[in-house]
Amino acid sequence: MSSLSFLVDSPQDAKFRAEVSTWMAENLPEDLRGWSTRPPREMIQPWHFKLYERGWIAPHWPKEYGGMEASISEQLILQEELSRAGAPILSRQALGHIGPILMHHGTDAQKKGHLPQMLSGEVMWCQGYSEPSSGSDLASLKTRGEVNGDEIVINGQKIWTTGGHFADWMYALVRTNPDAPKKQGGISMVLIDLKTPGITIRPIMTIADDEEFAEVFFDDVRVPITNLVGDLNDGWSVAKALLASERIGNANPQMALQCLDKLQRVAKATGAVNDPVFQDKVTQLELDVLAQSAVFAHAVQQAKAGMDIGAGSSFMKIVATENIQRIADLMFEAAGGHAADVEPMDTEEGPVDVSVLWREVRRITIYAGSSEIQRNITAKRVLGLP
C-alpha cells in the first residue's frame, strides 16, 4: 500500500495509527472494501453510523459541533488507514460542504436542526447547483425561488445531483431576484427537505453502470424562508466559499492511494511489475501523489487556521484529479487483455474492477468545476493573465 510517508509518525501518532488500523481491520465489512463507485445508501449508511459511534466521522469539525478537531497528522493518518483498508469514500455533501457552511453562515436554528444529524448520518444531503444549461456558467442558473410571505416558492430543475435519489435534504441555489443588475446578485442558497410536495427525483445511469446522480424537478415547492442560508440574494458569496472547500476536498489523497494500491495488485497479477519502464512510471505517480498529499495537508492546515485558500484550490483539484486518471490509465495498460473485462480481474489480494474504475474516474475532471474552468481560474487569479 502506498503511503503519505512525508510524515514521520510521532510516538503518539504511531499509537493512533495502530488503533485505527486495528479497528478498521475488525470493523470494515468485507463487502464494502474496494468499491470504485459509490455504494448505495443501504450499504454506506451503516458504515457512517459505525465511524460516528467510534468518533471518527468528522476529524476536521470543531469539537463545539461534535467533531474530532483532529490534528493534521491525525487527519492524514485516518485518510491513509481508510485507504489501506479499502474503505468506501463517504459523501462529502454534508460533512465536507454544507455542514461547514452552516457553521459559518447558518442561523442557530439551522445549526441545531441540521448539524447533529449530519454527523450521525441519519440525514443525507445533496447539492443542487447545476442545471441543464448552467454548469460551468453556474451564475446563469434559472431555477426560480419566489418569495411569498414567509415562504419561498421554487420552480425549475437541477441536474447531475450526486446522490439526489438517496438524499433527504438538498442545499440549492435558486434565483430570487431575476432583475438584479449582476446575475450573481440575484441568487440565494436555500435548504430543501426533499419530502416537500412538488419534488420529482429521477436517477441517471453513468458510464460506470452506477446511478451516481439524479435530476430533480421542482413544481411549486414551498420552503420556509427560515431555510435561507445567509441573506436573500447573497447566496453566491456563500456558494463561492463552498466551491473552494469542495475543490480542496477533491484533492484528498484517499482515492489516489486506493487507485495506486489497485494498480500494484493488477501489475503483480499480470507480471507488468517486472518491467523496469513500468516501474519507472509507477514511481513517478507515487511521487506525484505524495506531493499531492503534502499540498493537501498544507491546505487543510491553512483552512484550519482560518486562511482563505482561494484560487489555489483550483490548481489542487486539477493535479489531484489528473493524478487519479493517470493511475487508472496505467492500470488499464498493466491489465493487458483484462482491461476490457466487465467483470473484476482476479489478483492475489482480491478482485480489482479495472474497467469500472477506469470509466468511473472519467467524471472527476468534470465535477466541482471542470479542469478547463480550473485552468481559466488559475490563469486569471493565480498567474494574473488577461
Ligand X SMILES: Cc1cc2nc3c(=O)[nH]c(=O)nc-3n(C[C@H](O)[C@H](O)[C@H](O)COP(=O)(O)OP(=O)(O)OC[C@H]3O[C@@H](n4cnc5c(N)ncnc54)[C@H](O)[C@@H]3O)c2cc1C
Catalytic residue set: 246
366 binds ligand X (CB under 6 A): yes
143 binds ligand X (CB under 6 A): no
Segment interacting with ligand X, rule: CB under 6 A, options 130-138, 190-198, 232-240, 314-322: 130-138
Strands 151-162 and 144-148: antiparallel
CA distance 52 to 105: 24
Segment interacting with ligand X, rule: CB under 6 A, options 34-42, 126-134, 225-233, 266-274: 126-134
Q: What is the SS3 assignment for 313?
A: helix
Q: Is residue 215 within a helix (H) or strand (E), and if so which, with residue range?
A: strand 213-224
83 binds ligand X (CB under 6 A): no
Query: Exposure string (b/e) for 273-286, b if CB count within 10 Å is 16 or more?
Result: beeeebeebbeebb
CB of 47 to ligand X, least distance (A): 20
Gyration radius from the chain CA atoms: 21
126 vs 251, beta carbon nearer ligand X: 126
CB of 40 to ligand X, least distance (A): 16
CA distance 275 to 295: 30
Segment interacting with ligand X, rule: CB under 6 A, options 72-80, 189-197, 308-316, 370-378: 370-378
373 binds ligand X (CB under 6 A): yes
List the x/- string, 194-213, binding to ligand X by CB under 6 A. ------------------xx
184 binds ligand X (CB under 6 A): no
Asked if 48 contacts 57 with a C-beta cutoff of 8 angstroms, the reply is yes
CB of 350 to ligand X, least distance (A): 26
29 vs 132, beta carbon nearer ligand X: 132
311 binds ligand X (CB under 6 A): no
370 binds ligand X (CB under 6 A): yes
Whole-angstrom CA distances from 267 to 111, 244, 281, 332 are 48, 36, 12, 10
CB of 162 to ligand X, least distance (A): 3
Asked if 165 contacts 201 with a C-beta cutoff of 8 angstroms, the reply is yes
Q: Of residues 77, 335, 367, 378, which one binds ligand X by CB under 6 A?
A: 367
Segment interacting with ligand X, rule: CB under 6 A, options 65-73, 77-85, 263-271, 367-375: 367-375
Of 317, 314, 322, 329, the C-alpha closest to 377 is: 314
How many beta carbons lie within 10 A of that of residue 383, not counting itself?
Answer: 8
156 binds ligand X (CB under 6 A): no
372 binds ligand X (CB under 6 A): yes
DSSP character at residue 283: H
Segment interacting with ligand X, rule: CB under 6 A, options 155-163, 269-277, 301-309, 333-341: 155-163
Q: What is the SS3 assignment for 106?
A: coil
Q: Of residues 136, 148, 284, 301, which one binds ligand X by CB under 6 A?
A: 136
Question: Which three cell numbers, joined as nine digits, stand for 151?
Answer: 415562504
Cα pseudo-dihedral 262, 268, 270, 274, rounded to 10: 130
235 binds ligand X (CB under 6 A): no
- Nearest position to ligand X, beta carbon: 135
In sequence order, what are the residues at sequence separation of 6 or more whose Cβ sits closer than 8 angstroms to the Cβ of residue 15?
Answer: none
Residue carrying C-alpha cell 436517477: 203
Question: Where along the sequence are the contacts to ligand X (CB under 6 A)?
Answer: 126-130, 135-136, 160-162, 212-213, 363, 366-367, 369-370, 372-373, 376
